């Protein structure tokens, strides 16, 4: 354990390592409680380092058995060894060898970093700083080494032995019941990409021939008996490999690519070279256990980890401040992949929903940080929506700014120039500046300034002069450590449409012109605090469609009239903005209703909005898109829009009332949609079939909201007869939202059917944790006593505790502070088991300052209670202190 007070790490202090490790030979003898790790390192002074500097290897909770320098014992005055460090005072100044043996206990490893046990397997997680929990090392991403790993284990305990790279040897050790495998990875890599797996695992196998003819053996390893549930993941893997060749010209580079799914994992998955380790949630799927959303996520995560082979592994990060170099770029790539595999418009809407619900609150609260941070206390806390999701938006924006051709030229240059190295964001951007022949200095500010810019647009049409004037203003609120901001470079994709929906041709004029280039691309570049753009020869009053496709991660103040919003909903050629216009309209209605509810009155909703939804519902095209349009903004979305003095109960009340009004107003239409989309086809996870299910279930949900007496029996019928988990969980979620004996009966029946499927039971926990009723906290507490619950399993913890804290706005934010107290208590309990997961749970407090005063006080008290405990992990301490900062 690192018990000393954590010191901030600063980007400004970066200097190259004083030593390099060219080769690593590991010999690992797996044992449940006493695994032996022998490490032979070939080191040399780094020509870029300080000559004669001591060699300081990182450790974390290690027990050293012996250390040899060039084969000999080291004089005790020259070697300092603690569980957290190995320090050699005067290392040789020419190449030398170090041999170290450590003993580690994978069974006691509840933090799930380093070598640990999950089910019937041994596995590792080394990013960001887990390798130092296996052996002493230069645990930093800019030290790249070639690894050869020998793994030895009792055959009965681990029939499967996997490592990075290609397997070069294997055999049994006569008379011992043990066997071994030797893996060699020819590609130099940082230690965070090291992995090994040993265990009793089932597997499926396939092949992929790359376009230059490399025949790659693909394997997916899962808990025995679950093999058939890995076939969709295998299919997604092959499609990812083909797509990366086609779209980015990237081929796979080893003869083997293995994926292992484990049930205990802190995050989604990990891109270890040639040996990805996954949270089994992102591998296992069958129609009876996984929803359409699960299938889509599996496809995306499989692609994400595979794409890291180039963006992350072949080119890695110089230091952890550059995390977005691999993560933002790889998320961008997986988004594009999913858009190509499914409906681009629907994927874009889903991605923006995620950005707004996960990243915008981060940017608006005390945990706001740059996409490229410049200081951290605990790097584990920077695997955030800002680094990942906003990081991906920056890449997308870059492409909008410089165009597709220059973007791909820049990517090719990046791959060619930096392959085999550990790079920085500056080096990455330089490739695009060069390819586009454009100065990207102002664009780079996106990486260095936190906060979500706000763009206001005033639009004025002059009938006489036939001109349209658009006045843009940008601003950005202060964020921690950044009181003032320089103007961002904001690309605003746009178009003008007439009130009948016809597109209007663009002609700029006057002194406030949009450039020819801007008009041709349909993108206005807002680079200053204010900008006016005037369009000439506009024959009728147009409706501007702005920020098409969500061309920049900003909040757009929208002063369009309701009539204009309806024009956009009906006619915009940009599907994203059609959806957005409906969301904006709904949000406006709901924000007004929240005020009405707060003043103790009953909200009334505008018929025109409900009519607009009806017209969308009547279109027969793209059910998945229609499902998105009729799904109202969530409670957390509304809280974010309100921004201050938030009352979660009023938001819940307003939203419930609108859902009821829609359900009542569109009763026959919703029922008709529901009935028309019944399918007798065999299950297919493809986007079209999934889209039909999405619309059918969204219609049922609204129907039940307005007509529970007729709706609930339908939901019950669907629950009982469903052949897919999508339909079953949709029905159960409707039943769960209504108190009564049916709910409890349905929940019991669901548990009884799926008790042996951990991933399905996670859904059962989520549903119960998110019931918006005052009794829920007691239910959550009693579910913690359920045999199926364990704080040691991250998926379980997230399903019950995480879902309560982030998915139950009214009960987590209960006015008496009980939700806050509960979470604080759990975080403290979990901190000694798994600090990484504990810290993530604590981040649920990130928006506490936007609450109304009484809740603010209670949330602050709970955070202070956590912060005041001594002996906190750096992970939890960092989140607690920054949240209060
Ligand atoms: N690089 C992985 C994310 C990841 C980060 C840290 C982990 O440690 C517990 C695990 C995974 C990715 O982006 O997929
Ligand atoms: Zn990643």
Domain co-membership, 423 together with 469: no
- Point out the domain boundary residue: 506, 531, 557: 557
> How would residue 1 be classed by pLDDT, with cut points 50, 70 and 90?
very low
Position 76 confidence tier, pLDDT thresholds 50, 70, 90: confident
305 is catalytic: yes
- Whichever domain contains 494, its CATH number is 2.60.40.1840
Q: Between residues 1 and 241, which one has the greater pLDDT?
A: 241
**574 alpha carbon – ligand 2 mean position (Å):** 30
Same domain, 14 and 74: yes
Query: Could you say which of 535, 557, 579 is where a domain stops?
Result: 557
Residue whose C-alpha is closest to residue 108's, from 842, 800, 832: 832
- Rounded to whole angstroms, what are the CA distances from 585 to 470, 484, 622, 637? 21, 32, 21, 14
Residue 509 has pLDDT above 90, yes or no: no
How many percent of the chain have pLDDT more than 70? 99
The domain that holds 416 is classified in CATH as 1.10.390.10
Q: Are residues 482 and 405 in the same domain?
A: no
Q: What atom in ligand 1 is closest to the CA of residue 330?
A: 13
How far is 330 from 372, CA to CA, in rounded Å?
A: 15
Give the chain's mean pLDDT: 97
Specify the ligand 1 atom closest to the Cα of 304. Answer: 14
Q: Does the pLDDT at position 3 exceed 90?
A: no
Which of the four pLDDT bands, split at 50, 70 and 90, describes residue 516? confident
C-alpha of residue 215 to centroid of ligand 1, in Å: 28
Q: Which atom of ligand 1 is nearest to the CA of 301?
A: 14
* 391 & 419 share domain: yes
Do 274 and 351 sit in the same domain of this protein?
no
Euclidean distance between CA atoms 309 and 304, whole angstroms = 9
- Do 403 and 550 lie in one domain? The reply is no
Q: Would the pLDDT of 512 be above 70?
A: no
What confidence score (pLDDT) does residue 510 get?
A: 62
**Residue 102 and residue 567: Cα distance in Å, rounded?**
68
Residue count (the chain): 885
Q: How far apart are CA 192 and CA 327, in angstroms?
A: 14
pLDDT category of residue 487 using cuts at 50, 70 and 90: very high
Residue 570 is assigned to a structural domain of this protein: no
Tell me the two tokens of residue 407: 């973007």
Three-state secondary structure of 564-623:
HHHHHHHHCCCHHHHHHHHHHHHHHHHHHHHHHHHCCCCCCCCHHHHHHHHHHHHCCCCH
Note whether residue 434 is domain-resident. yes
Span from the CA of 141 to the centroid of ligand 2 (angstroms): 15
For ligand 2, an ion, list residues with CB under 5 A.
327, 330
Residues 156 and 238 in one domain: no
**Rounded-to-integer distance, Cα 462 and Cα 542, Å:** 11
Residues 146 and 63 placed together within one structural domain of the fold: yes
3-state class (DSSP) for residue 868: coil
Task: Quote the pLDDT of residue 506.
Answer: 82
Q: Would you say residue 90 lies in a domain?
A: yes
pLDDT tens per residue, range 170-223: 999 999 999 999 999 999 999 999 999 999 999 999 999 999 999 999 999 999
Q: Is residue 297 part of a domain?
A: yes
Could you tell me the CATH number of the domain that includes residue 92?
A: 2.60.40.1730
Average pLDDT over residues 157-181: 98
Q: Note the helical H segments in 403-515.
A: 404-418, 425-436, 441-448
φ/ψ (deg, to 5) at 409: -65, -45
127-151 pLDDT, tens digit each: 999 999 999 999 999 999 999 999 9
What is the 269 CA–ligand 1 centroid distance (Å)? 6
* Category of 205 on φ-ψ map: left (φ > 0), alpha (ψ -120 to 50) or beta: beta
Strand partners, 491: 525
288 and 404 housed in the same domain: no
Identify the residue whose C-alpha is closest to ligand 1 atom 2: 270
511 pLDDT more than 80: no
Helix (H, G, I), strand (E, B), or coil: what is residue 214?
coil
Q: For position 767, which CATH number holds?
A: 1.25.50.10
State mean pLDDT over 779-801.
98
pLDDT band, very low/low/confident/very high, at 782 (cuts 50, 70, 90): very high
Same domain, 787 and 776: yes
Ligand nearest to the CA of 276: 1
Q: How many domains does the chain have?
A: 5
pLDDT of residue 621: 85
Give whole-number Cα distances, 750 to 282, 490, 725, 743, 767, in Å: 22, 49, 11, 11, 11
- Tell the residue nearest (CA) to atom 7 of ligand 1: 127
Q: Is the dihedral of CA 422, 425, 429, 430 positive or negative?
A: negative
Residue minimizing CA distance to atom 8 of ligand 1: 127
CA dist 297 and 279 (Å) reads 12
Enumerate the H helices of 535-574 as residue ranges: 562-571
Geometric angle at alpha carbon 672, from 671 and 673, rounded to 5°: 90
For residues 428-444, one letter each, b for 16 or more C-beta atoms within 10 angstroms of the residue's C-beta and e for the rest, the string is bbbbbbbbbeeebeebb
Would the ipTM clear 0.95, i.e. be above it? yes
pLDDT at 816: 98
Structural domain range at position 372: 339-448
Find the 326 Cα to ligand 2 centroid distance in Å: 7
pLDDT digits (tens, 9 = 90+) for 445-454: 999 999 999 9
- Ligand lying closest to the C-alpha of residue 262: 1
Share of the chain above pLDDT 90, in %: 95
Q: pLDDT value at position 508?
A: 72
Say what the pLDDT of residue 620 is: 75
- Looking at per-residue pLDDT, the higher value among 639 and 680 belongs to 639
> Cα-flanking dihedrals φ and ψ of residue 276, to 5°?
-70, 135
Residue 530 lies in a domain: yes
Rounded distance, CA 324 to CA 331, Å?
A: 9
The protein residue with its alpha carbon nearest to ligand 1, atom 5, reads: 127
Domain with residue 225: its CATH number is 3.30.2010.30
Whether 290 is in a domain gets the answer yes
Q: What's CA 465's distance to the chain center, in Å?
A: 49
Q: What is the mean pLDDT of residues 68-95?
A: 96
Q: Could you tell me the two tokens for 308? A: 């890291």
Domain boundary residue, one of 309, 330, 349: 309
Ligand 1 atom with the smallest distance to the CA of 380 is 6
Residue 850 lies in a domain: yes
Atom 1 (ligand 1) nearest CA = 270
| 640-658 residue pLDDT tens | 999 999 999 999 999 999 9
pLDDT in tens, 39-62: 999 999 999 999 999 999 999 999
- Return the bridge partners of 459, or none: 470
Please check whether residues 247 and 396 belong to one and the same domain. Answer: no
Ligand 1 pocket: which residues have CB below 6 Å?
Answer: 125, 127, 266-271, 304-305, 327, 383
Assigned domain for 848 exists: yes
Looking at 129, 305, 393, 641, which residue is catalytic? 305
Contacts of 756-759 with CB under 8 Å at 24 or more apart are: 757/289, 758/263, 758/795, 758/796, 759/280, 759/281, 759/284, 759/289, 759/290, 759/294, 759/795
349, pLDDT greater than 70:
yes
Whether 2 has a pLDDT exceeding 60, the answer reads: no
Tell which one of 112, 116, 123, 127 to mutate to probe ligand 1, the residue whose CB is within 8 A of the most ligand atoms.
127
358 CA distance to ligand 1 middle (Å): 17
Nearest by Cα to 298 from 791, 804, 759, 722: 759
pLDDT grade for 515, boundaries at 50, 70 and 90: confident
Whether residue 495 is found in the same domain as residue 521: yes
């Amino acid at each position: 354990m690192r018990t000393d007070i954590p010191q901030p790490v600063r980007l400004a202090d970066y200097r190259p390592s004083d030593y390099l490790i060219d080769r690593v030979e590991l010999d690992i003898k797996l044992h449940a409680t006493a695994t032996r790790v022998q490490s032979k390192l070939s080191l040399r002074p780094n020509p870029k380092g300080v000559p004669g500097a001591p060699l300081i290897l990182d450790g974390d909770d290690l027990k050293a058995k012996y250390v040899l320098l060039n084969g000999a014992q080291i004089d005790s005055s020259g070697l300092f060894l603690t569980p957290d460090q190995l320090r050699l005072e005067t290392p040789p100044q020419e190449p030398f060898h170090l041999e170290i043996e450590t003993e580690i206990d994978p069974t006691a490893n509840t933090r799930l970093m380093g070598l640990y046990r999950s089910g019937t397997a041994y596995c590792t997680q080394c990013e960001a700083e887990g390798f130092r929990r296996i052996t002493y090392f230069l645990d930093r991403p800019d030290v790249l080494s070639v690894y050869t790993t020998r793994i030895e284990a009792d055959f009965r305990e681990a029939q499967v032995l996997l490592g990075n790279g290609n397997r070069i040897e294997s055999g049994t050790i006569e008379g011992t019941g043990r066997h071994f495998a030797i893996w060699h990875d020819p590609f130099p890599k940082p230690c965070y990409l090291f992995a090994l797996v040993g265990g009793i695992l089932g597997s499926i196998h396939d092949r992929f021939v790359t376009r230059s003819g490399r025949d790659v053996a693909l394997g997916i390893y899962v808990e025995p008996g679950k093999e058939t549930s890995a076939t969709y993941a295998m299919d997604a893997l092959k499609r990812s490999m083909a797509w990366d060749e086609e779209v980015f010209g990237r081929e796979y580079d080893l003869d083997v690519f293995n994926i292992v799914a484990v049930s205990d994992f802190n995050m989604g998955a990990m891109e270890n070279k040639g040996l990805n380790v996954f949270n089994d949630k992102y591998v296992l799927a069958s129609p009876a256990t996984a929803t359409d959303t699960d299938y889509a996520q599996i496809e995306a995560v499989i692609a994400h980890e595979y794409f890291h082979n180039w963006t992350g592994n072949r080119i890695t990060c110089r230091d952890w401040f550059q995390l977005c170099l691999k993560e933002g770029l790889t998320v961008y790539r997986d988004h594009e992949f999913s858009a190509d595999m499914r409906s681009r418009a629907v994927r874009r809407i889903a991605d923006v929903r995620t950005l707004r619900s996960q990243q915008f609150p981060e940017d608006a609260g005390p945990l706001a940080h740059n996409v490229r941070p410049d200081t951290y206390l605990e790097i584990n806390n920077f695997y955030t929506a800002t680094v990942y999701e906003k990081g991906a938006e920056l890449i997308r924006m870059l492409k909008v700014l410089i165009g597709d051709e220059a973007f791909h030229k820049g990517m090719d240059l990046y791959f060619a120039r930096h392959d085999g190295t550990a790079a920085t964001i500056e080096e990455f951007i330089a490739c695009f500046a060069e390819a586009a022949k454009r100065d990207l200095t102002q664009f780079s500010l996106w990486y260095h300034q936190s906060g979500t810019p706000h763009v206001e647009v005033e639009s004025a049409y002059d009938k006489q002069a036939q001109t349209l004037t658009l006045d843009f203003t940008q601003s950005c609120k202060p964020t921690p450590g950044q009181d003032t901001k320089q103007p961002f470079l904001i690309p605003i994709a746009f178009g003008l449409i007439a009130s009948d929906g016809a597109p209007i041709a663009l002609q700029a004029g006057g002194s406030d012109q949009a450039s020819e280039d801007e008009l041709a691309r349909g993108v206005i570049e807002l680079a200053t605090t204010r900008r006016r753009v005037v369009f000439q020869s506009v024959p009728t009053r147009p409706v501007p469609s702005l920020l098409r496709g969500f061309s920049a991660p900003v909040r757009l103040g929208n002063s369009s009239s309701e009539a204009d919003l309806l024009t956009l909903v009906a006619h915009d050629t940009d599907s994203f903005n059609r959806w957005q216009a409906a969301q904006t309209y709904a949000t406006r209605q709901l924000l007004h209703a929240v005020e009405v509810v707060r003043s103790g009155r009953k909200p009334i909703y505008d018929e025109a909005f409900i009519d607009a939804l009806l017209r969308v519902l009547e279109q027969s095209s793209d059910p998945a898109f229609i499902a998105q349009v009729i799904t109202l903004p969530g409670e957390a979305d509304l809280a974010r829009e309100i921004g201050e003095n938030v009352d979660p109960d009023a938001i819940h009340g307003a939203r419930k009332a609108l859902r009821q009004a829609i359900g009542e107003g569109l009763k026959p239409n919703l029922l008709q949609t529901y009935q028309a989309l019944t399918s007798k086809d065999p299950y297919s996870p493809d986007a079209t079939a999934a889209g039909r299910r999405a619309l059918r279930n969204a219609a049922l949900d609204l129907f039940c909201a307005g007509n529970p007496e007729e709706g609930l029996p339908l939901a019950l019928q669907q629950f009982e007869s469903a052949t897919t988990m999508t339909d079953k969980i949709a029905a159960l979620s409707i039943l769960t939202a209504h108190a009564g004996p049916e709910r409890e009966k349905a929940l019991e029946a669901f548990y009884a059917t799926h008790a042996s499927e951990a991933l399905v039971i996670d859904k059962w926990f989520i549903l119960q944790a998110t019931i918006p009723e005052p009794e829920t906290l007691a239910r959550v507490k009693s579910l913690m006593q359920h045999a199926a619950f364990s704080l040691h399993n991250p998926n379980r913890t997230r399903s019950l505790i995480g879902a309560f804290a982030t998915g139950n706005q009214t009960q987590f934010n209960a006015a008496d502070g009980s939700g806050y107290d509960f979470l604080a208590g759990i975080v403290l309990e979990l901190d000694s088991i798994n600090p990484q997961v504990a810290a993530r749970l604590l981040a649920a407090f990130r928006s506490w300052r936007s609450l109304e005063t009484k809740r603010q006080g209670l949330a602050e008290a709970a955070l202070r209670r956590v912060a005041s405990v001594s002996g906190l992990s750096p992970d939890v301490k960092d989140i607690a202190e920054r949240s209060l900062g």
